[in-house]
Amino acid sequence: MKKTATRLADGRELIYYDARDDAVRDAVDPRPLDPIATRSEIRHDRLLGDDVAIASHRQARTYHPPADQCPLCPSRPGRPSEIPAPDYDVVVFENRFPSLAGDSGRCEVVCFTSDHDASFADLTADQAGLVLDAWTDRTAELAHHPSVEQVFCFENRGKEIGVTLGHPHGQIYGYPFVTPRTRLMLRSLAGHRERTGRNLFDDVVADELADGRRVVLDGEHWTAFVPYAAHWPYEVHLYPKRRVPDLPALDEAARTEFPQIYLELLKRFDRIFGEGEPPTPYVAGWHQAPYRLADRGEFALHLELFTIRRTSGKLKFLAGSESGMNVFINDVPPEAAAERLREVASK
């Protein structure tokens, strides 16, 4: 992998990740952009104990442009984009409309491929491996960012999820705090250690493998299963079999096997609802240990992948119980979801 860092016209950082060591990335951003002026701030909710990012400038962000005006495609003569080069493998750059910025953290965009009409599932194993390299590098780099406590690499796919740009891409959030979801995991982790003397993540994975009914894929270095208490209609958790706290800690064997396992999962997600259905909308995100956690080795890196589509043509809405009280009601039994994901294996 070759990494080349440069700057866009408004001063934002842009990084090319190339599979070829001889790639030259010297294109200059010709756009007359004004410097970024964000109004992001973090406000603490005293009743719930969590934090909310207030980012009013995001109201002006690009919204469903036509394909020939996509800002994530390579630049063309007369049509400069966010990526000055005429081609690229993987690119990461600072979001022009960030939810978090400055003392409130950092937001980055990850373009998985220059092919506007592709999806992550269409990538080759080598291309997916390069995306993993980019996620890993950014996780390691953001550890040195003074306002970042935790890094979340994720992809939203589909208009149903709220995606405003159709180009295959994801994001990286560097939060200035430990997220509420992670705090809940850490609380459960500590309680389990106190009660049993064992690691909760290890026990969850071991229990799923022993039960077997919810296991979707079981590789040499990774295992994927629908969790016992899945919140979403189709939800898969992907764990490396050797517990590590974050992406940079993965060994070479796990990194090599990851593309095959993950691409297979994404292909199966697109087959859940049968032929002729539009691509399955999903959210996929890496859960990593916060940087300044006292015992980071207790936390287990894992990826969570889920769709909000519950059946053909119908979505799972977060209505009163979910949105009002954070109590999820799942219409699809996890065992049935796992069985369906096993049925739609790649031919």
Q: Helix, strand or coil for residue 208?
A: helix
Q: What is the pLDDT of residues 248-283, one digit of tens each?
A: 999 999 999 999 999 999 999 999 998 878 899 999
Q: What SS3 state is found at 316?
A: coil
Predicted confidence band at 76 (pLDDT cuts at 50, 70, 90)?
A: very high
pLDDT of residue 276: 78
Cα gap 170→110, rounded to integer Å: 5
Which residue type does 66 have? P
Does residue 345 register a pLDDT over 60? yes
φ/ψ bin of 266: left (φ > 0), alpha (ψ from -120 to 50), beta (otherwise): alpha
% residues pLDDT > 70 (the chain): 97
Structure confidence by residue, pLDDT tens digits, 211-230: 999 999 999 999 999 999 99
Distance of CA 259 to the CA centre of its chain: 14
In whole angstroms, give the CA distance from residue 235 to residue 285: 12
Confidence check: pLDDT of 119 > 60: yes
Q: Rounded CA gap, 108 and 274, in Å?
A: 34
Please give the torsion angle defined by the CA atoms of residues 122, 208, 192 and 199, in that order, rounded to the nearest 10 degrees.
-70
pLDDT at residue 149 tops 70: yes
Rounded Cα gap, residues 343 and 88, in angstroms: 36
User: Which contiguous run of DSSP H or E holds residue 157?
Assistant: strand 150-157
Summarised one tens digit per residue, pLDDT across range 282-321 is 999 999 999 999 999 999 999 999 999 999 999 999 999 9
Query: For residues 204 and 146, is the Cβ–Cβ distance under 8 A?
Result: no
Judged against a pLDDT cut of 70, whether residue 57 lies above it is answered with no
For the record, the structure tokens of 276 come out as 């002729």
Catalytic site positions: 169
| Strands 314-315 vs 106-111: parallel, antiparallel or unpaired | unpaired
pLDDT in tens, 129-147: 999 999 999 999 999 999 9
Dig out the tokens for 323 from the structure: 């949105």
What amino acid occupies position 121?
A: A
Distance CA 77, CA 151 (A): 36
Beta pairing, strands 222-225 & 215-218: antiparallel
